[in-house]
Amino acid sequence: MHELSIARNVVEIATEALRDAGGGTVSVVRVRVGVLAGVAPEALTFCYEIAIRGTPLEGSQLLVEVAPVVLHCPTCDRDAQPPDICHLECPVCGTATADVRGGRELEVESIEVI
């Protein structure tokens, strides 16, 4: 399962961050997932529960923040969010563009240690 390997990766990163912070108990792990990253937030949360078993992160909660698609319009020379992810075009002038600047991210934003 795709999400399970991502969840394990998140656990790895967060465990390392916890070690760097000098230990403690992690309460919340925040991740940012772009809508184009191909990850279902609910599936990731579910897999996270499995992935943290027996790790220092056991008992912590995963919060998934979904990041929108951001395109760069060459006509307007600005970044904008398309009307929907199936129509990658500028919402202002309608220019179709494949210059995607956001929406593919998959990163651990922060961990909260108590």
Considering only CA atoms, which of 65, 17, 16, 11 is closest in space to residue 37? 65
From residue 25 to residue 64, the character string flagging contacts with Zn ion as x (rule: CB under 5 A) and all else as - is ----------------------------------------
Among 20-28, 40-48, 54-62, 86-94, which window interacts with Zn ion (CB under 5 A)? 86-94
Is-contact 92 81, C-beta < 8 A?
no
Would you count residue 92 as binding Zn ion (CB under 5 A)?
A: yes
Which one of residues 44, 51, 73, 88 is an interface residue with Zn ion (CB under 5 A)? 73
Of the candidate residues 93, 99, 101, 107, the single one contacting Zn ion (CB under 5 A): 93
In angstroms, rounded to a whole number, what is the distance separating the alpha carbons of residues 57 and 103?
27
Q: How far apart are CA 63 and CA 28, in angstroms?
A: 7
